[in-house]
Structure 1
């Protein structure tokens, strides 16, 4: 009788060990899965906006640089924007940015100026667009109305898209044109040129 009891208790203990092993395996798989989702989320956030963190602006920061006639095509999230110095653009809400934060947008697809155009394959390696977060806002309301006739089915729903307003402060990667001083010819030089033209 005692031997059968002993074997029964041993069997129960073995089953408990197996159950514990199984639960530990499940917990480990769950934690690994959790870690993977965290990494995926991080990658997604990085992909959403490929930026470098600079921190908030200060009151005495001279944010704007003198205007240069240059433009850039920037990818933010899955949208592309054509921007130049001083432009304001509305993007989808950037959740990890606060108001007055400086951003560097690295996904520059194209840079252009009066003297040159640089096309990226797919991005321009030295190109960067500096921006400042102006505000977080909501877009105008869009009403979604569904109806199926003769079925007494009507659904009305509203949606306001969350937006972030960015102000473009600088575009890097385009060579700045040199301001060469061109001397105006004097009146006597003009008259001499006219005389030469007439005599020829």
Structure 2
């Protein structure tokens, strides 16, 4: 027997029991809600025959990872950049990133400087490469005037870039420390000269 119950939005036929609703939803091979759960489990979970089987499969994944040794094989990263630059030698993004890799990871300052210079020639208004080059000049040559000139260009090119502004602030801080140490050294030399005079 079917009973129709009025609902505020309209009327819907009410079935005789709650199980009949589930039977219409899960027809054929899905006769119970539990069968969906079991099927989902079969698709996403891999069950190993034994613990050693699971360990072996994990070991295979680790062996397939080419960047497994302490964050990656540096020579392969360098080779990758060199191959990419052969294909596109004037790409300022590649030049900048390779220069940064050479400077910060490999410690090859000379080649990093060459990459930064080529990147600046390819994209003279890239504030980030200008600041990276200025930082390299400051760290390796301690040429305050030249580094300051490149930092000024970087800030003019990218006034909203927090990395450029942060690098410039660090440079100003370090350059100020050097000036203070230099002034302190002159004061110490003057004081020792005065002590010797007495």
TM-score range, shorter chain: under 0.3
What's the TM-score, normalizing by structure 1? 0.21
Larger Rg, first or second structure (1 or 2): 2
TM-score by length of 2: 0.22
Higher helix share: 2
Asked which structure has the greater RCO (Cα within 8 Å, sep 6+), the reply is 1
